[in-house]
Amino acid sequence: MDFELSADQRAFADTARQFAQTALAPHAAEWDREAIFPREAIAQAGELGFCGLYAPENAGGLALPRLDATLVFEELAAVDPSTTAFITIHNMATWMLGTWATEAVRTTWGEALTSGQKLASYCLTEPGAGSDAASLKTRADRDGDHYVINGAKAFISGAGSTEVLVLMARTGAPDSGAKGISAFAVPADAPGISYGKKEEKMGWNSQPTRVISFDNVRIPADHLLGQEGEGFKIAMKGLDGGRINIATCSIGAAQGALTQAQQYMQVRKQFGKAIASFQALQFKLADMATELVAARQMVRLAASKLDAAAPDAATYCAMAKRFATDAGFMVCNEALQLHGGYGYIREYPLERLMRDARVHQILEGTNEIMRVIIARRMLEADAPDAIR
């Protein structure tokens, strides 16, 4: 068991850190304030391979381990969690398309997506199907050499600004549950697709979020990903990695906040001395650092389990997502507290990091659902020995 990063892994992290400082840091506050979707910066990330980190090579991706991808995402999120989170969602959708698409669809979209020239959205959640994703109602009915799609998706990141929708829709009977769901690659500008208003959000303002409606949208049958009925399995496989990604974004945000707090404590003076000299605040910083290191190691453990295709990888991914997103938000909140009133104003990045990190406890499966996943596994007879 080796906890040290390899030279290649450190190089990936260093490259990501440099990119974050030059391409994201100078603009992150403006993108948040003006709700700007930074297509150009994302394309620049694509030039470095960051838009296809673990997508297969035959789709133009780097096919890196998930562990290596977390190193990149953490460095980006330390500066701009919102933009980074979209890049992780794009990576997830691109991996799904690259892994399960037909050769024709992969040829059409693969390299365009992995390069960041085109972008993808992941479309699972519906107005009436959030945590209970298997109850989704959007339908895709076979009609000769096409599928006809009707329904709606909600809370879709990038909606209206992306070119491909990785869509989960019901092909089975209305009561067919998870087994009746299939996955599709849908051109985002297909006739019959319409987009709702851009949601005004607490955070994640550098990426648009909209409802997507489908009204008799026709797509070629070869846009099916995998086989009919495999969509829910594909969606959950995507979400295992997506949960690691979002957990990593929380780690990155927390690292950025911790760094800001540590530096601020050295220069801020009260009662004639730097606040770093007050033991109560030293203890707060110590707890923040401890929680952050523990969360980072849990995320890397889960990523390693997923890379190894371990039987309980999904459980570890749920654990990592639950723990890291809670811990990450706590660290951001405590860092803001250490800044006092300055942490609450936009001149400092703390309030933005905290707002962006808050939603991570909700998406890719709420942390309550993560507890359900973990508890179900832990109630099995072999769990105490298997999950350690």
Whether the predicted pLDDT of 206 surpasses 80: yes
pLDDT above 90 covers a percentage of the chain that reads 99
Q: E strands, the chain, where?
A: 120-123, 139-143, 146-157, 164-170, 181-187, 193-195, 209-220, 224-225, 269-270, 273-274
19-69 pLDDT tens trace: 999 999 999 999 999 999 999 999 999 999 999 999 999 999 999 999 999
Residue pLDDT, tens place only, 285-298: 999 999 999 999 99
51 within 8 A of 42, measured Cβ to Cβ:
yes
The residues that bridge with 269 in the sheet, in sequence order, are 274
* Average confidence (pLDDT) over 179-204: 98
What band does 3 get if pLDDT is binned at 50, 70 and 90?
confident
Exposed / middle / buried, residue 213 (Cβ in 10 Å: 0-12, 13-18, 19+): middle
Token readout for 197 is 């208003």
C-alpha distances in Å from residue 151, one per residue of 65, 127, 191, 213: 35, 10, 14, 6
DSSP label of 331: H
| This model's pTM is above 0.85 | yes
Confidence of residue 258 (pLDDT cuts 50, 70, 90): very high
Handedness of CA 192, 156, 79, 294 (dihedral sign): negative
Q: How far apart are CA 186 and CA 167, in angstroms?
A: 7
pLDDT, position 147 = 98
In one letter, which amino acid is 233? K
Mean pLDDT of 4-20: 95
Q: What is the pLDDT of residue 145?
A: 97
First to last CA, the chain: 15
Task: Give percent above pLDDT 70 in the chain.
Answer: 100
Q: Is the pLDDT of residue 247 over 80?
A: yes
Is residue 1 over pLDDT 80?
no
Question: What are the residue numbers of the active site?
Answer: 364
pLDDT score, position 48:
97
Q: What is the mean pLDDT of the chain?
A: 97
Q: Please name the residues in contact with 351: beta carbons below 8 A apart, sequence gap of 6 or more.
A: 336, 343, 344, 345
Question: C-alpha 222: how far from its chain's center?
Answer: 27
Q: Is 312 helix (H, G, I), strand (E, B) or coil?
A: coil
Specify whether the CB–CB gap between 54 and 63 falls below 8 A.
yes
Which residue carries 């107005």 as its tokens?
127
Could you give the 3-state DSSP secondary structure of residue 89?
helix
Taking residues 352-375, what's their average pLDDT?
A: 97
